[in-house]
Structure 1
């Protein structure tokens, strides 16, 4: 902030008159330039903290307004094309974006690699599951066969069992007719 007023610096009223705009519009343009350059001290200031303008500033404002009348242009985009620090910022932004893109590409590559590993694991587990299902089916067939064999044995063994059970019952009954062993000694 300079307190010295030079002959080549214009007050806001003089600069606005030179541009053919109001002081409020000049203030708007100045704020756009300060935001674009990210430098709130871009313009010289007097002891009352009013901005002071050079002839170069006036020419830049004229160019900024002229560019803003183009297609898809605003005062802000025009300012970005005129002021050198905005170009530096733009390059930095592009560099930052490029590094972000690289980071994202690395992340995508890692995720794709992990995805491939998971797909392989899934395929291996599906193969194991298929093998387990085949084994289960084989065991089920064996179990069914064993059940059938057991049922056949039971069917074939029943008459023989019935005969042996009848014989045992008859022996028991005949033993009961003889009486208890005690009766043999007492009787």
Structure 2
């Protein structure tokens, strides 16, 4: 094994030294991570099939060990919190797909409801237009009836005036003739 860093990758000996643990303990940590992620090729490997580690891997190992010292925690449970598991990924993807499908269904439903509302609005606008036309027609008819009524009243007033004039004239003429008994006096 070479002690030279290759493309910023650390050999197991270098990684173990950085972590302050043995190479065997590093191998144990690596196996826990591979089991947790269900990915036997989680870490890069060199031509001798030895695992190679990044600075991110070293930081993740440090965090995993730190979490494992908490109450009711093990290296395995702390690894599950740091590294995504395949099941979690699949479950998350399934949930995401379900949510996307549900959102598409909701969108389709909302679009359908929106079309119905647009149709209702269109129908109401047509009904309003028809009602306004009917109102205008009724207003024209009302104006015509008012005019006819006014003319009738004027005609009636004129006719009544003439009737009154005739009666007055008759009365005056009757007064000029005098009473019937005045005809005998004469």
- 1:20 is aligned to 18
C-alpha RMSD of matched pairs (Å): 4.1
Q: CA deviation at 1:88?
A: 2.3
Kindly provide the CA deviation profile for residues 52-94 of structure 1, in whole angstroms up to 9, marking residues without a partner as x: x562315759x5961628xxxx849xx78x95x6232112101
Q: CA deviation at 1:122?
A: 1.2
Q: CA deviation at 1:167?
A: 5.4
Unaligned runs of 5+ in 2: 1-14, 35-42, 44-51, 64-78, 180-186
Unaligned runs of 5+ in 1: 1-16, 24-52, 179-187
In 1, the alpha carbon distance for the partners of 2:141 and 2:150 equals 14
- 1:161 is aligned to 160
Kindly provide the CA deviation profile for residues 13-43 of structure 1, in whole angstroms up to 9, marking residues without a partner as x: xxxx9342369xxxxxxxxxxxxxxxxxxxx
Q: CA deviation at 1:115?
A: 1.0
- Pick aligned residue for 1:57 from 24, 29, 34: 29
> How do 1:10-159 residues align onto structure 2 when only pairs under 5 Å count?
18-21=16-19, 53=25, 55-58=27-30, 66=54, 68=56, 75=60, 86-159=85-158
Tell me the TM-score normalised to structure 2 length: 0.50
Aligned residue pairs: how many? 122
Tell me the TM-score normalised to structure 1 length: 0.50
